[in-house]
Amino acid sequence: MTISRRFPRWTAAAALLPLLAPAAAGAATISGTVESAHAPLEGAAVRLLAAGPGAPATLGATRTAADGSWSISYAAPPAGAQLYALASGGARRGVRHGGELRLLAVAGDASALADPATLSLDERSTVAGAYALARFLDRDGRVSGPSPGLPNAAATAANLFEARAGKVSFVLSNPPNGPLTEALPTFNTLANLLSTCGAGTASDCRRLFAAARVPGSRRPADTLAAALAIARNPWHVTRAQTRLAFPRGKRRAPFGPALAAAPRAWTLVLQYTGGGLNAPGRMAFAADGTVWAGNNFQSPGTTAGLELTALSPTGQPLPGSPFSGGGIEGPGWGTAVGADGRVWNANFGGDSVSVNAADGRPLSPPGGYTVGGPRRPQGVAVAPNGDVWVANFGGDDVIRYPNGIPDARTAQVISGGGIDNPFAVQVDDRGYAWVTNGAESRTGSVTIVSPAGRPLRTITGGGLRSPQGLALDSRGNAWVANLTTASVTRISRAGRLSADSPLRSTVQGGWGIAVDGADHVWVAGFLGGNVTELCGVRPTCPPGVAAGRPISPARGGYDSRAFQHITAVQVDQSGNVWVANNWTTGSPLREPVGGAGLAQIVGAATPVRAPLIGLPRPAR
């Protein structure tokens, strides 16, 4: 999905549309209901807004009738605008609420709405909007952000709750989610937590806001702000929240199925298995948010995979997915997207490198590119200058294709200087390549290679044993995931180990690693099937959490039944954290079974611009 960034400036007049304005010529109509805990809210103030890169514009406003119904006619907003509605106050079964009760529902892309359209607001729509829009929504209900991050986030809300249909989404309520993971009961439990305000009194609302308050921040002033605080800080689970979410006595929770006990974290994790996904090794995002993943295995067995999967930002297979040809054969851990949209895969099983166009068409020859002699290649990275680097795991060298052209006359094979069984490669803003050595062994190091292809320095120690993935932060520091020491090693831009390395925390066999737009570090635990969030080098962490220390729960990090043996983790432009299930849980390490697709932690991170080239940059 590609949406123009050129939004016409909304005028002040658009924000001053009178209540109950008559329908204008050519106006569209949207109607719906406002409820709390399945009971209508009478007299609630409803506003319809259009969100884009700047401040949202009010398209219309009204109040609900006795049955909670409402209707607004509005003029079409600028192309690409994302519509959402806010409802405040109202009376529920004779108990009147003020501004402390605020609900939200996401309608989505204005151009895709039917006329007339419908939209339902309640606690479930509010949880869906707060999580999907967590990085685009503020405490006052204002939504804004760039494309494609904001449009993709708005579309993701419908994977949790279909506000236009007034029901929990098909994605959330059915396999591979539904009864197979904890996402649906967690979602309903969060809605039940919010409903303690709408179905209660002002005192109940105050208790909710106190329970949702995060250390170092102000107490939420309304239910939407409470939901946003929880969505942005899923690690913050308190006894006060538990008492509200799991009531004792006669009060029944309105939404089910719900959790039976407090979770370790308030994460919402969705699983996607379509588009030919079978043991994905690593994923990469295109500029429009398309998710590309190479498949290690070929269904139904475990022979080298011959296909490349492409999913929409909401996890739906793109037309033609999976793609084959061009030499794809056991892509392993090598998937990267260049600035031109081309998708690069290193074929561990085929001893080659493949290239696909942005639409999935193979661009490489039937056997892939073999320039430079790739042998069991793994990591691939695209440099800021367009060079493509390949970690030649089976050849003890690194291959560089200047300008991304696999030409025998210009390709460079870089060996020596400590390069040994290289696994991951990333290129920083200066053009220096960082390479992990000794993956799947009892040794390990990181080699820094100059832009011209000369090994400059090899770093050892600091817990570097079987280093797998490597990620760079916005200041050029390298973070390395170690499989056998179950730790992370931090290396400065100058190539010096941090004094506190290895950072052990809750990492359970580190493999994939990524840095988000706030420099938080996300680590995929291959052995334990968990994800750990570490504080980075910038002061964007909870009070008292130092660089390298965990933000995620101290007992096990973030876990989910949607997680299996994870080999990769990446952050998209909407702030979703994606992980690759490479092997199924319980698979013997000597005889693995292909993992079930990709999983997505909704709205948990600060968005990152894509494709990821050089250092991570916030998606603005």
Cα–Cα distances in angstroms (integers) from residue 360 to residues 2, 30, 280, 320, 423, in the given order: 16, 38, 17, 8, 25
**Could you tell me what percent of the chain has a pLDDT over 70?**
95
For residue 89 the two structure tokens come to 């106050």
The reply to whether 278 and 257 lie within a common domain is no
- Inter-residue contact 242 to 258 (CB < 8 Å): no
Q: What is the CATH number of the domain that holds 320?
A: 2.120.10.30
For residue 617, is it within any domain? no
The reply to whether 62 and 186 lie within a common domain is yes
By residue range, what is the domain housing residue 120? 1-8+24-263
d(CA 251, CA 469): 49
The reply to whether 259 and 353 lie within a common domain is no
d(CA 12, CA 487): 53
The crossing angle, in degrees rounded to 10, of helices 202-212 and 183-198 is 140
CA angle at residue 336 from 330 to 340, to 5 degrees?
A: 130
By CB atoms closer than 10 A (0-12, 13-18, 19+), residue 214 is middle
Q: What is the dihedral of CA 266, 310, 6, 474, to 10 degrees?
A: 60
User: What is the mean pLDDT of the segment spanning 342-350?
Assistant: 97
What DSSP string runs through 26-69?
A: T-EEEEEEEEETTEE-BT-EEEEEEESSSS-EEEEEEE--TTSE
**Sorting pLDDT into bands at 50, 70 and 90, what band is 586?**
confident
Question: What is the per-residue pLDDT across 516-569, written as a single tens digit (0 to 9) for each?
Answer: 999 999 999 999 899 999 999 999 999 999 999 999 999 899 999 999 999 999
In the predicted structure, residue 440 carries a pLDDT above the cut 90: no
For residue 618, is it within any domain? no
By CB atoms closer than 10 A (0-12, 13-18, 19+), residue 261 is exposed
Question: Integer distance in angstroms from the first to the last C-alpha of the chain?
Answer: 17
d(CA 383, CA 491): 20
Tokens 């210009």 sit on residue: 410
Decide: helix, strand or coil at residue 464: coil
Decide: helix, strand or coil at residue 211: helix
For residue 250, is it within any domain? yes
For residue 479 the two structure tokens come to 């973070």
- Residue 332's closest CA among 356, 310, 308? 308
The reply to whether 246 and 362 lie within a common domain is no
The predicted structure's pLDDT at residue 247: 81
For residue 539, is it within any domain? yes
* AA letter at 581: N
For residue 212, is it within any domain? yes
The predicted structure's pLDDT at residue 26: 56
Phi, psi of 188 (to 5 degrees): -65, -35
User: What is the mean pLDDT of the segment spanning 235-264?
Assistant: 90
The reply to whether 4 and 103 lie within a common domain is yes
Split into its structural domains, the chain has a count of: 2
The predicted structure's pLDDT at residue 381: 98
The total of other beta-carbon atoms located within 10 Å of residue 534's CB is 28
The total of other beta-carbon atoms located within 10 Å of residue 256's CB is 13
The predicted structure's pLDDT at residue 589: 74
- Inter-residue contact 335 to 311 (CB < 8 Å): no
- Inter-residue contact 310 to 275 (CB < 8 Å): yes
d(CA 570, CA 604): 12
Cα–Cα distances in angstroms (integers) from residue 415 to residues 375, 424, 455, 601, in the given order: 13, 15, 8, 39
d(CA 232, CA 242): 18
User: What is the mean pLDDT of the segment spanning 32-49?
Assistant: 98
DSSP conformational letter for 8? P
The predicted structure's pLDDT at residue 620: 78
The reply to whether 241 and 380 lie within a common domain is no
d(CA 48, CA 62): 9
The predicted structure's pLDDT at residue 516: 98
User: What is the mean pLDDT of the segment spanning 450-476?
Assistant: 97
Tokens 């044993």 sit on residue: 465
The reply to whether 319 and 386 lie within a common domain is yes
Question: What is the per-residue pLDDT across 588-609, written as a single tens digit (0 to 9) for each?
Answer: 777 889 999 999 999 999 999 9
In the predicted structure, residue 112 carries a pLDDT above the cut 80: yes
| Domain limit, last residue, from 235, 263, 291 | 263
The reply to whether 230 and 282 lie within a common domain is no
The reply to whether 308 and 429 lie within a common domain is yes
For residue 166, is it within any domain? yes
Cα–Cα distances in angstroms (integers) from residue 272 to residues 291, 456, 461, 578, 599, in the given order: 11, 42, 38, 10, 6
- Residue 345's closest CA among 388, 316, 386, 312? 388
- Residue 393's closest CA among 468, 497, 452, 336? 468
- Inter-residue contact 103 to 223 (CB < 8 Å): yes
| Domain limit, last residue, from 237, 263, 289 | 263
d(CA 188, CA 199): 15
By CB atoms closer than 10 A (0-12, 13-18, 19+), residue 452 is exposed
List the alpha helices (DSSP H) in 183-222: 183-198, 202-212
CA angle at residue 608 from 604 to 609, to 5 degrees?
A: 150
In the predicted structure, residue 90 carries a pLDDT above the cut 80: yes
Positive or negative, the Cα torsion across 593, 298, 529, 281?
A: positive
| Domain limit, last residue, from 231, 263, 295 | 263
The reply to whether 255 and 310 lie within a common domain is no
Of 102-116, 282-296, 439-453, 584-598, the poorest mean pLDDT is in: 584-598
Cα–Cα distances in angstroms (integers) from residue 179 to residues 183, 259, 580, in the given order: 9, 12, 21
The predicted structure's pLDDT at residue 295: 96
The reply to whether 316 and 197 lie within a common domain is no
The predicted structure's pLDDT at residue 6: 29
Beta bridge partners of 347: 352
Write down the mean pLDDT value for the chain. Answer: 93
Question: What is the per-residue pLDDT across 510-526, written as a single tens digit (0 to 9) for each?
Answer: 999 999 999 999 999 99
Cα–Cα distances in angstroms (integers) from residue 376 to residues 349, 391, 455, 514, in the given order: 6, 9, 21, 23
The reply to whether 205 and 288 lie within a common domain is no
Decide: helix, strand or coil at residue 229: helix
In the predicted structure, residue 67 carries a pLDDT above the cut 90: yes
Tokens 């939420």 sit on residue: 220
In the predicted structure, residue 250 carries a pLDDT above the cut 80: no
For residue 153, give the H/E element and its range.
helix 149-157
For residue 612, is it within any domain? no
d(CA 47, CA 229): 22
